Amino acid sequence: MVNIEPHIDFFAFLIILGVIQGIILSYFFLNTRNRAFQPNIFVGLLMLSFSLISFDIFLCYTGYMADFAFLDNFSESLPFAVCPLFYLYAYSHVRGKVRAGQILHFIPFFFYAVYNLLYMSQPTSFKLNEYTHAYFPEVPLEQVNPRFNTDPLHIRNYLTEITVLYLLIYLIKTMIIIINAFLKDKASVFLRHYKNLSWLRNFTMSLFIVLLVLVVVKLKFGPDTGDYLITSCFSLIIYATSINVIQSSMFFKGHVSTPSPMSKKYAKSSLSEEDKSEILEKLKASMLKEKYYRNNLISESQLSRKLLIPTHHISQVINEKLNQSFFEFIALYRIKEAEQILSDPGKNHLTIDEVAEEVGYISKSAFNKTFKKITGKTPSEYRS
């Protein structure tokens, strides 16, 4: 009988809290309402996979696996699910709905899940010996033979190398998709906040870090004993995802509103509220600093090229955040400057036509009509 005293420390708390949080997140993403948005399905299953892998390692690291030895290595196939789940999460965000044929990405996972049954179906006493030998080699053990060969293809001998290569391939594929999305929008890959692309970029980089930790841990600690460090990284990713979800939540916005027709129009947009606010501030700053509205030919496409913001995002932000069209947005800045000019005694020599041209109008009648609509007076009445 193997006697192992369980222990709990900082890493154990970090991991088990990550497990709980990951399960909560997976429920949030996979509930009936949220899974209608396809990327939520993939990230929900990804969080669940992280949690199950972490729980397996938690039991091993703390010693509780000695009491639940029948579960030993139950999550060993899940790393082969993590890679395609993350790839398809990014793919569906950037390129749209994933086709049914993409399930082929999960062939290695399904294969190894079946292959792992050769180990999982072994007697609990055998799995207890295997676990104890890996984590507590100093404990004397009695010989327990398996019912049959648990690794006829010798895959387990190279499982770490296979996992590292598999993860690396999918991370590179994912990063290529994200970089191309930035380039398509003519946006810098290094923007701190830009749509959900910044989040996907950061998520991918965090998994690159996990990959690096995995390599270092396996070289330093060997096959199993350093796994708690890898799982701690999973917990940090789960916590970061929770923070991102909370920041995007309307719960903290201070009011509950009924979705407007405009918000329904952009229901499938990938822009978060933070993205929208940042784009709006950039638009306002450009109007004040560069005074693009003075250009009588200014358009959304021209502004898009100058600010490196996609045209449809400019339109969406102005529509949703200000409840205005692009030309109403421009008109407000033009009329505001016109008011300043007409109120300045030093510029009384300017005619109404010249004021209109100064602020971006080529038609006096259009200027007069817009000015009266916004201020309630004609330009001449405002000046007098």
User: Hey, CA dihedral for 269, 261, 241, 30, is it positive or negative?
Assistant: negative
Q: Give the architecture (CATH level 2) of 10-248.
A: Up-down Bundle (1.20)
Nearest to 240 by CA among 212, 188, 202, 279: 202
Return the residue matching tokens 């929900």. Answer: 44
In this predicted structure, what is the pLDDT of residue 311?
86
Return the residue matching tokens 């955040």. Answer: 321
Q: Report the residue count for the chain.
A: 384
Residue 196 phi, psi (nearest 5): -90, 0
Nearest to 309 by CA among 341, 279, 348: 279
Nearest to 338 by CA among 329, 325, 328, 351: 351
Nearest to 356 by CA among 371, 344, 376: 371
| pTM score | 0.67
One pLDDT digit (tens) per residue for the chain, 384 residues: 567 888 999 999 999 999 999 999 999 999 877 777 788 899 999 999 999 999 999 999 999 999 999 999 999 999 999 999 999 999 988 877 788 888 999 999 999 999 999 999 999 999 999 999 888 888 888 888 899 999 999 999 899 899 999 999 999 999 999 998 888 777 788 877 776 788 889 999 999 999 999 999 888 877 777 889 999 999 999 999 898 887 766 555 444 444 455 555 665 566 777 788 888 888 998 899 889 999 888 888 888 888 888 888 899 999 988 888 999 999 999 999 999 999 988 888 999 999 999 999 988 899 999 999 898 889 999 887
The enclosing H or E element of 176 equals helix 159-184
How many Cβ atoms from other residues are within 10 Å of residue 233's Cβ?
21
In this predicted structure, what is the pLDDT of residue 256?
45
User: Hey, CA dihedral for 5, 6, 9, 11, is it positive or negative?
Assistant: positive
In this predicted structure, what is the pLDDT of residue 257?
45
Nearest to 218 by CA among 165, 164, 171: 164
The domains of the chain are located at 10-248, 261-383
- The overall longest dimension of the chain from CA atoms, in Å, is 104
Q: Which CATH class is domain 261-383?
A: mainly alpha
Amino acid identity of 131? Y
In this predicted structure, what is the pLDDT of residue 37?
77
- Round to whole Å and give the CA distance between 98 and 45: 15
CB-based contacts of 347, cutoff 8 Å, min separation 6: 341, 355
Fold matches, 10-248 and 261-383: no
User: Hey, CA dihedral for 348, 350, 353, 355, is it positive or negative?
Assistant: negative
In this predicted structure, what is the pLDDT of residue 333?
93
Q: What SS3 state is found at 376?
A: coil
In this predicted structure, what is the pLDDT of residue 267?
55
CA 150-46-207 angle, 5° bins: 90
